[in-house]
Amino acid sequence: MPDSRGLVILTGAGISAESGLETFRSSDGLWAQHRIEDVCTPQALMQNPQLVHGFYDARRAALATVESNPAHHALARLDAAWTGDLLIVTQNVDDLHERAGAQRMLHMHGQLNSTLCAHCGDQSPWRGDMPVGAQCRACGAPALRPDIVFFGEIPYDMDRIETALSQADLFVSIGTSGAVYPAAGFVRMARAYGAQALELNLEPSEGSAWFDECRHGPASLLVPAWVDELLA
């Protein structure tokens, strides 16, 4: 009888670390090099759009130089093989899950390879640098911004995420510090609905105590091993 449990898998910057992308809260991470209030708030975009666009241009350019790692490929393999419900909810704005082949997924914090029109809300694919005041193809306004959910803004797809959490039998958190809400609260929501919770992370996260089981180590080792176990 195939395992048809419902899975919700939350990923954070730690799953992309071994691909060479910086995480946020490590000692030399992105928030050690830049102030959040300078590059990741609506006020920052208003007051210094050049700095904000430049920050995301640099991260978009870095993305073009890295590849998905065994953790991304393992989740894509699970997605393809799993007969039950499965949803990968990533906090990451990189496209490494997609490039590994993941299908059933969403980006709750937006994506580097997308642009958002601050005037009409249109979202469109975007590659390369994004000049300040670029024109929206849908409405023509010079109002294109990085399609990134800034601190103080509402993450995408919260209804879909909450529905998936309410129906999950297993919630797995991979490579996230558990420092930022609402993602940091998903484990509690899933458990309140009766799901089992597993954390796969380099070290204990801020939310480790909420998990039934925690495995600590690099995602490129832990995730393929966990997927093999699940598909055995």
109 labelled catalytic: yes
- The CB-of-194 to ligand APR minimum distance in angstroms stands at 25
| From 9, 17, 102, 130, residue interacting with ligand APR (rule: CB under 6 A) | 17
Is 70 one of the binding residues for ligand APR (CB under 6 A)?
A: no
From the CB of 184, what's the least distance to ligand APR, in Å?
Answer: 8
CB of residue 167 to ligand APR, shortest distance in Å: 24
How many whole angstroms separate alpha carbon 214 and alpha carbon 232?
Answer: 20
Question: Is the Cα torsion angle 219, 181, 66, 228 positive or negative in sign?
Answer: positive
Smallest separation (angstroms) from ligand APR to the CB of 57: 17
**Could you tell me which residues come within 8 angstroms of residue 140 by beta carbon, excluding any fewer than 6 positions away?**
none
**Choice between 58 and 138, CB closer to ligand APR:** 58
Give the helix ranges, DSSP H, for the chain.
14-17, 30-33, 36-39, 42-47, 49-63, 70-81, 96-100, 158-167, 186-192, 219-231
Cis ω for the linkage preceding 182 (within 30 of 0): yes
- Compare residues 39 and 136 and give the one whose CB is closer to ligand APR: 39
Asked if 14 is part of the footprint of ligand APR (rule: CB under 6 A), the reply reads yes
Q: Which of 53, 107, 109, 119 is catalytic?
A: 109
Amino acid at 40: C
Q: Which two tokens stand for residue 210?
A: 């909420």
Q: CA 133 to CA 49: how far, in whole Å?
A: 9
Nearest residue (CB) to ligand APR, 111 versus 177: 177
Residue 207 lies near ligand APR (rule: CB under 6 A): no
- At 83, list the tokens: 């007969």
Positions in the binding site for ligand APR (CB under 6 A) = 12-14, 17-18, 23-26, 29, 91, 109, 175-177, 179-180, 201-203, 205, 218-219
Q: What positions carry a catalytic annotation?
A: 109
